[in-house]
Each structure stands twice: as C-alpha cells, then as structure tokens.
Amino acid sequence: MALDPTKHADWEIAEDAEKNMKTVYELAEKLGLEKEELLPHGHYVAKLDYRKILERLKDKPDGKYVDVTAITPTPLGEGKSTCAMGLVQGLGKRNKSVVGAIRQPSGGPTMNIKGSAAGGGLAQCVPLTPFSLGLTGDINAIMNAHNLGMVALTSRMQHEANYTDEQLAKRNLRRLDIHPKKVEFGWIIDFCAQALRNITIGIGGKMDGFTMESRFAIAVSSEIMAILSVARDLKDMRERIGKIVVAYDRQDRPITTSDLDVAGAMTAWMVEALNPNLLQTIEGQPVIVHAGPFANIAIGQSSVIADRVALKIADYNVTESGFGADIGFEKFWNLKCRYSGLKPHCAVVVATIRALKCHGGAPIPVPGKPMPEEYKKENVGWVEEGCKNLIRHIETVKKAGINPVVCINAFYTDSDEEIKAVRRMGEAAGARVALSRHWEHGGDGALEFADAVVDACQEENDFKFLYDLDTPLGKRIDLIAREVYGADGVSYTPEAQEKLKRMEADPEMKEMGTCMVKTHLSLSHDPRLKGVPKGWTLPIRDILTYKGAGFVVPVAGAISLMPGTASDPAYRRIDVDVETGKVKGVF
C-alpha cells in the first residue's frame, strides 16, 4: 500500500514506490520497443534511440496529443507536473496506452525553493533522485556546449587584442573585430547563483584573457536548451547551433559560433543529449523526460523529439507546457506546434482553489513562509472572483481551436461549495471540468479527469495559429498582448522600437517565431496584478534574437536569467545515508 501523502513527504513516497519499480526492460517491452532502441543507464533509467524508433514507426499513425497548462499560478505553483503524472496514471487505470512527456528539472530550483517538478504525493515521476540530480547528463552537456562557445569567444578576443593581422593569419585566423560592449553570450551554471549575475573576467596580465564585464545565467536559460527543445534531429541541431549569435563586431555585424569555428565542437557535446530519457510514474506508466524548464525566455516545454516519439509508441501522449496558458500554452501553440507540425487534441487547464482565491482577493502566498490562514477557510466569493482568471485561460485555449479540459487539482482542504463554483463557471465558459484527487489517491483519484480528457480527444477540433509567419513582428506582439494577455496595446522603449524596425526589415526574421518574455505571476507584465487586469499596456523594453533556436524574443518587464537562492533553500534538508548511499530530502 502506498504511503499517505498527508503524513509523508514526497521523497519518502517516491522512495517507498521505488521498491516496486519496473525495470527499463519491462517498460520497453510494454511499449513494443526493440532491443537496440533502448540505451540503458542502469536498471531504471534509459535513453531512447529516437532515430531508430521514428524510422521504424514512421508509417504508424500518431496517438492523441494532450497538453497540460494552467491558470496564472501563485508563487508556489499549481501542480501542473503533478496533474500530468496524475493524468498518465488515471489513463493507465483506464487501460489506455499512455506515455508522459515532461521536462528535466534544473538544479537551481531543486536546490532552492521550488523543488524538482517530479509531481507530488501519489502522482510522481520516479526514480526521484536521478530525475532531480542530473539524470543522464543532458544539462551537463548543455553547460559544456554553451561554455565552450564562450571559451572560443573570449580566447579569440584575447588573441585579437595581442596579435597583429599578420600574426593572426599565421595562426589561420582572421580578425573578427568583436566589440567588447556588444557580447551577447555569457557563462552558464545550473544553480541559482545571484553572486554571478555580473562579473569581471580576464583580470591579470595579457595571458590571462581579455578583461571585460561578463555574466552567468542559469543553465536552462541557454539558447542550447531552447535548441534541444525544438530540434527535429542532429542535422537540424547542428545547423541551429551554427547560427547562434554570440556577439557583434564594431560595425554591428553579428558574430556567430560558425564564425568562431566552434559550432561543430559544441554540437559534439550534444549528440547523446538528443536521445530522450525514459523513466516512469510511481504506478509504472512510462514517462519520457527531455529538455528543460524556464518558460520565461525559452519555450519551457519537453522536446519536439520526445513528443514525436511518445505519439508513435503510445495511444496518448500527455505533455506539459510551463507556467500559465498565457506563457507556456501560447508558446506550445504558436512555437512548438509550428516547429513540430503536430496538432494537439486537447489542452488541460490546471486550477487550484488556492490560486483562484489568490486571484479573487486573498493575500498572496510567499514561498518558504506559512500559508496565510485565509486559505484554510471556505470563501466561495473569492473563488468565483478568481474564476475570471480561469475563464481567460479557457478562452485562450479555445482561440487555438483546441478542446479545453479544466482539472480542479484538489487539495484535501478544499470545500465542496468552492469546487462546485469552479465546476459551474468552467462549464459555463465552454470547458469540460473534472475534479481530480491524484495527489491523495494516485491514478484512482484521477479517473474523472482521465475520462474527461478521453472524451475531449474524441471530438474534432479546428487547430489554428494566432498568427502566420508573414505577419510583421509588431503585429504579432500586439496580437499576443491583446488576444492572450488582455492588454489594451503595446508600448516600446526607444531601443526596442529601433530594434523592431530593423527586424521587420530583415527577411530572415520573418521565418522566426516570436517568444515572449514576461512574468508568469500575472496576465500582465506586473506580478502584483492578479485576476484579469484591465486598462493596461504591455511595455516592451528590449527585443533579443535567438537565431539558432529561431526565436525573436520581445522582453516585457524585468526578467533575470539568473535567479537567486533564498535564505532557506532546499539544500539545507538534503543529505545522504552514508550506509546505503540513498539521498534523502529531494522533493
């Protein structure tokens, strides 16, 4: 019998469930995989040779494609990963052939406040410790590939500063004339290290590098991670990595990794990382884990490759997009599906009574501090007011032509009247609404949820993008701001306005997707504005270019690519049993 989640921590539940895990060989047999398509990393984790699988099953029809998104979350998150795992387990209980496809967690939040995003309670991905602490090395490969690009850039700047053109030519180098104030790249590390946000490098003599200001970002914000998410195969990845802009020269021309002759070596670090990872839920359904989070600036999705594989080996693929539907689902809709060519059958909008109360007027909860007492008491009025936020996200899903299902991710403290209010208002907005208690009861608690998704997947939909690629960039930004966020319009800083004009005149930019950057804590750019803010304008302060990933990145508000570690981080409670080697406390 599974442990009671009201009495045991997630890591304890995971550790107990891992006693009965299926081996990767059993999972592979269940999925109909052939021996050479499975690349084991021990008994309970494996990589999948996506090339062999997709080639063998190229004529097999795809399964049903389900995305899990959410309402605007509180700072605590609303359990999308838990719901995704719960849905996979619920579909498994209904004897459906199902695979989950989720993102690999970052070491930053795992060792900080948020945790590893493996799910929670009786709806988790296991084995938890490998999942949370590096898995098969994909993020490490990203760090090596990215930092190699920075090594190539900084060493080239040093050599150009110390050698004449003739001396460079003898070394088979041409002068790139890199502008030290126009370096786009920085270094990455997979922790929340605020002390590294702004640094100075090259201090010492001329043999110690080129002296300049630099910075670190968290690993999962790297453009390499974004490329891993959208690449269709190794050839596509190699081409994309070669297009990464690392700096500009003194004539404002882009300097790419190809100019530095490092794109091939960077790709070499990523060859094995292209193969997605195979794990399982605590009830033994297969889960593919690939690519990483950080939906603020990247797409924050599991990879296109993972979804393509899952849709060939199972009848249902349950994937997840980061944050609320205004960010994660919008990028799933207009970026990921455009790159993959895949059309979803259903989108789940996760809602909690906790988040609805927050949008309805309750005090905003603070990570690491006790939940305000107001959340422990019934308040149907707050829930009804908060449902305006839910309805906005339902409308976003419907604009994509996709069938919405609202999952009420139930906490055992929720009241019947509060749940009835959400069901009534969600159904009135045109969504199926299902109550799910997967956190407390696993797959058995997700049967209503699973049935609603199955029903939604049987219906025809009319999937369509919000904009065509020939839509000018300014019009795209305005469409997203008005149609998804609910803004009255868009404003630009002079710098952003100048970049917009230049990009709209560049034919290459017309083929690139638009990857918006804003806070996940509000439909607006201001995290303090809850519910459905009215009478506001989206301020675009900058527009970045990720040519390798194929993104133009408008930035609204202040977004840090290097989060900070809080005063009471998770690592204070993580330790190792020195007798058994088991890790304790990861959640």
In this prediction, residue 270 carries a pLDDT of 98
Residue 567, domain member (yes or no): no
Residues 233 and 309 in one domain: no
Catalytic residue (one of 141, 219, 295, 310): 295
Residue 584 in domain: no
Nearest to 513 by CA among 338, 380, 319: 338
Residue 53: burial class (beta carbons within 10 Å; 0-12, 13-18, 19+)? buried
E strand map for 185-231: 187-189, 199-201, 212-214, 216-218
429 in the same domain as 296: yes
- 571 is a domain residue: no
19 is catalytic: no
Please indicate, yes or no, if residue 566 is contained in any of the structural domains.
no
CA 84 to chain centre: 14
Told to judge if 30 belongs to the known catalytic residues of this protein, a careful annotator would answer: no
Of 371, 411, 453, give the one whose Cα is nearest residue 78: 411
Please confirm, yes or no, whether 323 is among the known catalytic residues: yes
Question: Do 389 and 482 sit in the same domain of this protein?
Answer: no
Q: Which of 216, 323, 329, 333 is catalytic?
A: 323
Q: Along the 587 residues of the chain, how does pLDDT read in single tens digits?
A: 789 999 999 999 999 999 999 999 999 999 999 999 999 999 999 999 999 999 999 999 999 999 999 999 998 888 899 999 999 999 999 999 999 999 999 999 999 988 888 899 999 999 999 999 999 999 999 999 999 999 999 999 999 999 999 999 999 999 999 999 999 999 999 999 999 999 999 999 989 999 999 999 999 999 999 999 999 999 999 999 999 999 999 999 999 999 999 999 999 999 999 999 999 999 999 999 999 876 555 678 899 999 999 999 999 999 999 889 999 999 999 999 999 999 999 999 999 999 999 999 999 988 778 889 999 999 999 999 999 999 999 999 999 999 999 999 999 889 999 999 999 999 999 999 999 999 999 999 999 999 999 999 999 999 999 999 999 999 999 999 999 999 999 999 999 999 999 999 988 888 899 999 999 999 999 999 999 999 999 999 999 889 999 999 999 977 788 999 999 999 999 999 999 999 999 98
Cα radius of gyration (the chain): 24
Query: Count of domains in the chain?
Result: 3
Catalytic-role residue among 14, 64, 70, 80: 80
Distances (CA, A) of 16 to 1, 126, 343: 10, 11, 38
**Cα–Cα distance list, 368 to 239, 486, 585 (Å):** 43, 31, 16
Cβ-contact 481, 261 below 8 angstroms: no
Q: What is the CATH number of the domain that holds 426?
A: 3.40.50.300
Which residue type occupies 358? C
Q: Are residues 525 and 543 in the same domain?
A: yes
Task: Collapse the DSSP code of 3 into the 3-class scheme (helix H, G, I; strand E, B; otherwise coil) and give the result.
Answer: coil
3-state SS class at 295: coil
The predicted structure's pLDDT at residue 296: 56
Query: Could you tell me if 308 and 443 lie in one domain?
Result: yes
Annotated catalytic residue: which of 69, 72, 74, 82? 82
Angle CA 292–389–74, to nearest 5: 50
Task: Show Cβ contacts of residue 35 under 8 Å, excluding neighbours closer than 6 positions.
Answer: none
Same domain, 391 and 414: yes
* Domain encompassing residue 261: 138-272
Secondary structure (DSSP) of 465-509:
-SS-TTS-HHHHHHHIIIIII--SEEEE-HHHHHHHHHHHT-GGG
* Domain limit, last residue, from 401, 433, 458: 458
Please tell me what DSSP assigns to residue 517: B
Catalytic entry in 47, 64, 96, 103: 103
The answer to whether the CB of 116 falls within 8 A of the CB of 587 is: yes
Same domain, 480 and 429: no
CB 48 within 8 A of CB 39: yes
Q: CATH code at 544?
A: 3.10.410.10
- Evaluate whether residue 5 is within a structural domain: no
Tokens representing residue 249 in the block: 């020269």
**Residue whose pair of structure tokens reads 């009215």 in the numeric block:** 534
Nearest to residue 286, comparing CAs of 304, 312, 262? 312
Q: Are 162 and 156 in contact (CB under 8 A)?
A: no
What is the value of pTM for the model shown? 0.95
**Rounded Cα gap, residues 376 and 553, in angstroms:** 40
- H or E element that contains 227: helix 223-230
Residues 121 and 177 in one domain: no
In this structure, the dihedral spanned by the alpha carbons of residues 4, 22, 232 and 149, taken in order and rounded to 10 degrees, is: 80
Examine the domain organization and report whether 34 and 126 are in the same domain: yes
- Whether residues 492 and 451 share a domain: the answer is no
Would 574 be classed as within a structural domain? no
Active site residue 256: no
Residue 282 lies in a domain: yes
Asked whether the CA dihedral 534, 537, 542, 543 is positive or negative, the reply is positive
Residues 6+ apart with CB under 8 A from 179: 247, 248, 249, 250, 252
Domain shared by 244 and 300, yes or no: no
Residue 191: give its domain's CATH number: 3.30.1510.10
Q: Which of 131, 216, 333, 439 is catalytic?
A: 439
User: Residue 384 is encoded by which pair of tokens?
Assistant: 């009804």
Which of 272, 288, 314 is the endpoint of a domain? 272
User: Which one is catalytic: 175, 197, 411, 423?
Assistant: 411
Beta-bridged to residue 350, according to DSSP, are: 70, 407
Out of 47, 64, 114, 432, pick the active-site residue: 114
d(CA 5, CA 375): 19
**23 has catalytic annotation:** no
Asked if 587 is an active-site residue, the reply is: no
Q: Are residues 29 and 166 in the same domain?
A: no
Q: Is 584 an annotated catalytic residue? A: no
Known active-site residue 114: yes
